[in-house]
Structure 1
Amino acid sequence: MTDIFDDVRDHYRATGLTERLKTALMALGSEDQRLTPEQLGALDQFHTRGLAATAELAKLAGISADMSVLDVGSGVGGPARFLAATYGCRVTGVDLSEPFVDAARYLTERTGLTGQVSFQTASALELPFDDGRFDVALLQHVAMNISDRARLYRETRRVLKSGGRFATFDVVSNGDEPLYPVPWARTPATSFLMTAAATREAIEQAGFRTLTWQDDTEAAKSWITQLRASGPPPSPNLGVVMGPDFAQLSANLGQNFLESRIGVLTAVFEAL
């Protein structure tokens, strides 16, 4: 497991990320100018369909201002900041990549949300929180990097209150091997896709019951088609985070969707 985690960390190492972000964000104004989550949406929503997918998942999860929310695999913090700004809730993000956590803290300062949003470097398989700490847990495009799904979902259940919500938005396998590299893995060594049916079974066995279950693959295909028609995204964008080969990663992602090698699952569960 340690070797796999090291490989995942290498994929998301992003050396010098915060400094690259500071340089890229000069296009949006001076260092002391406060930014909004919407302004950062092309940069910090590291998943299919971007900010729109986060907004839809949050609505399905029923997030409100009095809730404590955990974002598992929080990346550079886009979803966490959006939730805090939109709903007024408290959000804690955890990510395996220390450079991502450092960048998330920097961007949160730039949006003036440090009072509501915090980040820690931690594994999703060993969450550093007490049992029953959170009302809601979000998992967006993270499980594909984790081989021990049973442990992932048990650990998520452990930190949720009874009756809490677990909302997931993840890539699933449709049976064929994806084309690599892709945004979550440059080789099959760090890619652990499961079918939608197997994902549901693993989550329910961890102590959840299904509330919402959606196949959003067609929406993902439409998003890919629109992106291709509109040309390169404006700067700053996710290329700042993932490096110079992001165009290839993104192109392969789109091809995998359009060839139905992969799909997208949106689901919300209740902790029993």
Structure 2
Amino acid sequence: MENTLVITIVLYQTKFSKTPSYEYLKKIINEQRPVYLFIYDNSQKAQEDELFHKENVYYVHDETNPGLARAYNAGAQYLAEVQGELMLLLDQDTLVEEAYLEMLCSLKLAEDIGAYVPIVHSHGRQISPLFSDKYVGRQSELPKVGTYSERIMSINSGTVLPKTTLTSIGSFNLDFPLDFLDHWLFWEIHRLNKKISVVDYQLEHDLSVLDYQTISSERYESIIRGETLFYQKYDQDKFYSHKRQLILRTIKQFLRVKNRKIWRRTLVEYRSLMKGK
């Protein structure tokens, strides 16, 4: 018997038909499988698509652009309504192929697994998942396929959450509307003593926030606020490491990043945290 899967995809200023996974999603939706598609559109204007009229597709437009957390909460509510067993989180920039969706439909679920995650690559290197027992950075160790009780962090997109996990966490944390929501999610899953299953599948994702040369000052503001909140309020054991990382990052950004607002903002954050100690 197949799992009932709800795919929750969040859009922003992008036509659904232009997303890299569109044709694969369209195919599986048209096959009358136990698969539902929940689309949360944060764009300024609503859009139309032939799939929006399918019985197993639900489209929501929210011009206020609240980010990811509220969209995922709405997706979780939809999963409860259709009595789904798994929710796949999907960004508009992630290429998810039919084989991955087929795998999820036939996945044998285990009660002690809090999340199923693929191996995700961006621009030729693995960006997710990462071991997160230490401060997460470029030097973090990379788990292979398998099941882990150790702390692991994975990006939102591609992550699959059983309904039991969604019930246990209650709701996605609105304190992290966009950035560091994934860090909070996997911190919470570990706190619940759930394991992480790294499945034998690889996805491609365009993670633009990896490049300080192209990131906007507004997006960097969101990242650094979410980052500090996470280490101040939740993963507090790494707060000292976070402060140390900020000063090292300031120096690197001063030397390498053309947008001078970026390194100045990092320095301001560092000084603010040092004053508060």
Same fold (TM over 0.5): no
TM-score (norm 2): 0.28
State the TM-score, normalized to the length of structure 1. 0.29
Higher-Rg structure is: 2
